[in-house]
Amino acid sequence: MRLTSSAFLEGEHIPSLYTCDGENQSPPLAWSNAPKETKSFVLLCDDPDAPLGKWHHWAVFDISPSRKSFDAGIAPAHTVEALKQAVNDFRHPGYGGPCPPPMRGPHRYYFRLLALSSGELPVRRHPTCSEVEAEARKYVIAEARLCGIYGR
């Protein structure tokens, strides 16, 4: 399975448009080569370099297996365009872009796409990103990753 973005390449700088210093919109993403048995996808974004430990920026879950991409700028809401979005560590539903502390060097931001053997995750209403990830891990059949870098 492969995850890509037309906004940045693996290991490259994430444009500020997709960060708290810009418009804070989600980047465009596309994926391919998912296993045939995929019943849904989960998309996660997190920062393992955050001062207090892993910071969850985004979780989209119960994504249809027929879907192959996201356009930039998915609205921050619990449900939009038939997509379910979790509450991030900024305590808001949807995407919260990279926003590392100034003068601390660049952070890595991992966008991870999980192909699942379950069509729907049994999570509570308005789950957190970490709750979505924990439940999704029970059903993972494949995973793809894209890392971008951002510092202030």
For the residues 103-123, what does the mean pLDDT come to?
Answer: 95
Q: Which CATH architecture has domain 2-150?
A: Alpha-Beta Complex (3.90)
Residue 151 is predicted with a pLDDT of: 95
State the chain's mean pLDDT as an integer: 96
For the residues 91-116, what does the mean pLDDT come to?
Answer: 95
- pLDDT one-digit tens code per residue, 3-57: 999 999 999 999 999 999 999 999 999 999 999 999 999 999 999 999 989 999 9
Residue 103 is predicted with a pLDDT of: 83
SS (H, E, C) the chain: CEEECCCCCCCEECCHHHCCCCCCCCCCEEEECCCCCCCEEEEEEEECCCCCCCEEEEEEEEECCCCCEECCCCCCCCEECCEEECECCCCCECCCCCCCCCCCCCEEEEEEEEEECCCCCCCCCCCEHHHHHHHHCCCEEEEEEEEEEECC
Residue 79 is predicted with a pLDDT of: 81
Residue 129 is predicted with a pLDDT of: 98
For the residues 88-108, what does the mean pLDDT come to?
Answer: 94
CA-closest candidate to residue 69, choices 28, 102, 111, 103:
28
For the residues 89-105, what does the mean pLDDT come to?
Answer: 94
Residue 78 is predicted with a pLDDT of: 82
Residue 77 is predicted with a pLDDT of: 82
| Cα-only R_g, the chain | 14
pTM of the entire predicted model: 0.95
How buried is residue 145: exposed, middle or buried, by Cβ count under 10 Å (0-12/13-18/19+)?
A: middle
Question: Where are the chain's structural domains?
Answer: 2-150
